[in-house]
Amino acid sequence: MRKVLIADDRAPGRELLRVVLEQSSCVVYEASDGIEALQSARELLPDLIILDLHMPVLDGFGVLEELRLDLRFATTPIIALTASAMQGDRELALSAGFTTYIAKPISLRALRGEIERFFHVK
């Protein structure tokens, strides 16, 4: 079973991802802010991490930076999730070290596509 960690400060957002990921036979762990996400990631060593960019305490960029410094997460796929609509955010996320970028609102089909891609390519 693939372990997936999702970090989003909004509970409905977490549940939506949980349902879709569980349909794809993933075990889902949740975090509601950046610090929690860091702790869980280090404990669980998930196979995939989905980070909302806008979170209280420590945002997605902050979590990513910490994780990428840790050799255990050097190649872990980490997806940026954001509701921001500003152009350039995608470039910003990719250059920061995110594996890919998903804009809210997501299309479930697109999300499933990404999940499939990560777990089959590996």
Partner 1 sequence: MTHSGRKPISDAERRLGELLESAPDAILELDNEGRIVLLNRMAEKLFGYTREELLGQAVEVLVPEDLGAAHQRHREKYLSHPVTRPMGSGLKLEARRKDGSRFPVEISLSPVKSSTGSHVTAIIRDITERRQMEDQLRAVQEKYIHELELRSRQAEQANTLKTEFLSNMSHELRSPLHTIIGFAELLAEETEGRLGEKQKRFLTHIQNDSRHLLDIINDLLDLSKIEAGRLELRQEAFDIVPVMEDALSSVRPRAVAKSVELRTDISVSVAVVADRLRFKQILHNLLSNAVKFTPDGGKVRVEAAPHERFAEISVSDTGIGIPQDQHRAVFDKFYQVRSATRGGGGTGLGLAITKGLVEQHGGRIWLKSEPGNGSCFTFTIPLERFDEKSVDRGR
Could you tell me which of 26, 23, 10, 19 has the C-alpha nearest to residue 81?
Answer: 10
Q: Which residues contact 33 (CB under 8 A, 6 or more apart)?
A: 7, 9, 55, 56, 57, 58
How many Å is the maximal CA-CA distance in the chain?
36
Of the candidates 1, 71, 95, 105, which one interacts with partner 1 according to CB under 8 A? 105
Exactly one of 1, 69, 71, 86 binds partner 1 (CB under 8 A); which one?
A: 86
Site for partner 1 in 44-73 (CB under 8 A): 54
DSSP designation for 74? S
Q: Which helix (H) or strand (E) holds 89?
A: helix 89-96
Residue type, 110: A
- The answer to whether 13 contacts partner 1 (rule: CB under 8 A) is yes
Choose, by CB under 8 A, the member of 85, 95, 120, 121 that binds partner 1.
85
How far apart are the C-alpha atoms of 54 and 93, rounded to whole Å?
Answer: 12
Q: Judged by CB under 8 A, does residue 92 bind partner 1?
A: no
Which residue in the set 1, 69, 71, 87 belongs to the binding site for partner 1 (CB under 8 A)? 87
Residue 99 structure tokens: 């594996």
**Residue among 5, 6, 7, 16 that touches partner 1 (CB under 8 A):** 16
Smallest separation (angstroms) from partner 1 to the CB of 8: 9
How many residues of this chain interact with partner 1, rule: CB under 8 A? 19
- Per CB under 8 A, residues contacting partner 1 are 10, 12-13, 16, 19-20, 23, 54, 83-88, 104-108
